[in-house]
Amino acid sequence: DADVTQTPRNRITKTGKRIMLECSQTKGHDRMYWYRQDPGLGLQLIYYSFDVKDINKGEISDGYSVSRQAQAKFSLSLESAIPNQTALYFCATSDRGTGTNTGELFFGEGSRLTVL
């Protein structure tokens, strides 16, 4: 089983619908992230959380919300989906990045969302 699991892997929805993307991890990491990837635009940070009580906005948080339900779970919601939110979404985790730790991001397999 993958260490960082995203559900659903693919989702097609209509404009105005509420969508939730879920992420769970078994790596024991404190830090979790949601990124969005569009062709030619690289990875853009939506939200991140450094522990259960910590939520921070990233570069492109408008239209999105998140919930950190537990250390291992971090969900992303689109309250009212719009077509320009069609993208590939990645959840990622990392350790604290202290000492010799690289601070490497470990990514889930991605959730492809299409908003019609």
Site of interaction with another protein (CB under 8 A)? 31, 35, 40-45, 48, 58, 90, 94-98, 101-105, 107-110
In the complex, least distance from residue 69 CB atom to another protein, rounded to whole angstroms:
22
Q: List helix spans (H) across the chain.
A: none
In the complex, least distance from residue 94 CB atom to another protein, rounded to whole angstroms:
5
Q: Which is closer to another protein, CB of 75 or CB of 94?
A: 94
What is the CB neighbour count within 10 angstroms for residue 25? 21
Q: Which segments within 71-110 are labelled E, that is strand? A: 73-78, 87-94, 106-107
Q: Which is closer to another protein, CB of 18 or CB of 57?
A: 57
Give dist(CA 16, CA 32) in Å, integer: 27
